[in-house]
Amino acid sequence: MKEELILDGVSVRWGRLTIVDSLSLSLPANQIVALAGPNGAGKSTLLGAIAGRLAHSGSVRWGAGPLNARSVGFMPQHCCTKADLSVLQTLLLGCHEQLGFRVGEGELEQASEMLHEFGLEALARRQVGTLSGGQQQLVLLAQRLMRRPKLLILDESTCALDIRHQLTVLDILRKYVARTGALVLMAIHDLNLAARAADILLLLRAGRLMAWGTAAEVLTAENVAAIYDVEARVLATDDGPCVLPIGPRQPMKPPSPFPQEQRAVGNVHLQYRVAREHTRHMPLEALNQRQST
Ligand SMILES: Nc1ncnc2c1ncn2[C@@H]1O[C@H](COP(=O)(O)OP(=O)(O)OP(=O)(O)O)[C@@H](O)[C@H]1O
């Protein structure tokens, strides 16, 4: 059976609003897929639906069969904990299904390897609730990996990390994918980090998939303008494309029939109505008279 995540017509609605709009795609395992798009595009909603946390229509499958919840690791956005547990205990909880009344040598060894990989050894005995936001993010990410999920879904799980820890985490995820053949699906705002991390990049806007492919294919100035309404330069570097935002794209304004000085005192609503009705120039006083009659 081919190891792949298949979405077939997945839609999510909140009340009468369609947030994810009939999305179909297949993502082969053994790679990192980044999901980007503007605020409110539906990234978290889509990930929640794939993780089985949100009601949706359409189907989410793994190969020919249903996606088994036990093979999914999900780290939602703003994931944090106030639990009265040490960092080591928090990691061990990640594989609680294997644990009995005693923690086995295997799990302890796995947890200490994970602490080492994430550079968390010095924090192993600290209460997890007392850690900084970034430190907690590292611990909770390590906890998700303890279970060795086939599908790891991360929602902005590197947003609290400094650049060194971001690179450390990307390296850990790369090695994890190479070792286990898993699929990592991560929502991320930092397009340059996404370009560096991901084999495939998906760009979502208003619940629809607007672009997908390698970072070099997807991260073009045209796509950034169309999806984010931002003017940007995209530089080709040895590490892939690098997006340099220039500024917000100016919204298109309908042409005004009025000279500059009349527009300054005019009523915007009135001008637009009139612009639709008349193409020729008409003095503002005449328009106001027409309005009041
Ligand atoms: N529980 C809810 N009830 C109603 N609307 C919701 C709910 N959760 C999300 N939405 C709406 O769904 C839309 C998509 O939200 P979502 O969190 O999926 O976006 P996102 O792409 O992850 O955004 P961001 O980048 O800001 O995290 C938003 O308009 C949001 O207001």
SS3 content of the chain, % helix, strand, coil (to 5): 40, 30, 35
The pLDDT assigned to 252 comes to 57
Other C-beta atoms within 10 Å of 196: how many? Answer: 18
ipTM above 0.90, yes or no: yes
How far is C-alpha 231 from the chain's CA centre? 21
Nearest CA to ligand 1 atom 7: 14
Residues 231 and 229: their CA atoms lie apart, in Å, by 7
Compute the distance between CA of residue 166 and CA of residue 188 in angstroms, rounded to an integer.
12
Which neighbouring-strand residues pair with 6? Answer: 26, 61
With a 6 A CB cut-off, is 143 part of the ligand 1 pocket? no
The pair of structure tokens assigned to 27 is 């993502």
What are the C-alpha distances in Å from 285 to residues 18, 260, 263, 292? 45, 15, 12, 11
Amino acid at site 28: P
User: Which protein residue has the closest C-alpha to ligand 1 atom 18?
Assistant: 42
24 contact partners, CB below 8 Å, separation of at least 6 = 7, 8, 9, 10, 58
pLDDT given at position 192: 94
pLDDT attached to residue 97: 61
What is the rounded radius of gyration, in angstroms, for the C-alpha atoms of the chain?
Answer: 25
Can you give the pLDDT at residue 267?
38
Please give the distance, rounded to the nearest whole angstrom, from the Cα atom of residue 44 to the centre of ligand 1: 7
Q: What angle do CA 167, 173, 177 make, to 5 degrees?
A: 145
Which pLDDT does position 256 carry in this prediction? 59
216-233, pLDDT tens digit by residue?
999 999 999 999 999 999
Residue 63: the pLDDT is: 93
* Minimum-distance ligand 1 atom for the alpha carbon of 45: 18
Supply the pLDDT for residue 272: 34
* Long-range contacts at 279-283 (CB < 8 A, ≥ 24 apart): 281/257, 282/257
Confidence (pLDDT) at 255: 59
Domains and CATH numbers, the chain: 4-82+145-248 (3.40.50.300), 260-292 (no CATH)
- What is the pLDDT, as a whole number, of residue 286? 43
41 lines ligand 1 (CB under 6 A): yes
Atom of ligand 1 minimally distant from the CA of 189:
25
**Of 164, 140, 166, 7, which Cα lies nearest the Cα of 77?**
140
Residues of the chain with pLDDT under 70: 1, 97-102, 251-293
H-type alpha helices, the chain: 43-50, 87-93, 105-117, 133-146, 163-180, 191-197, 215-218, 221-228, 260-265, 268-277, 284-292
Residue 217 confidence (pLDDT) = 95
Whole-number pLDDT of residue 2 = 82
**Structure tokens given for 53:** 């946390």
Residue pLDDT, tens place only, 31-89 = 999 999 999 999 999 999 999 999 999 999 999 899 998 899 999 888 777 778 999 99
pLDDT given for residue 264 in this prediction: 41
- Between CA 148 and CA 152 the distance in angstroms is 9
Residue 194 has which token pair?
């996404």
Quick check: CB of 44 below 6 Å from ligand 1?
yes
**Helical packing angle, 163-180 and 133-146, nearest 10°:** 0
Query: For residue 208, what are the CA distances in angstroms to 23, 180, 184, 211?
Result: 7, 30, 20, 9
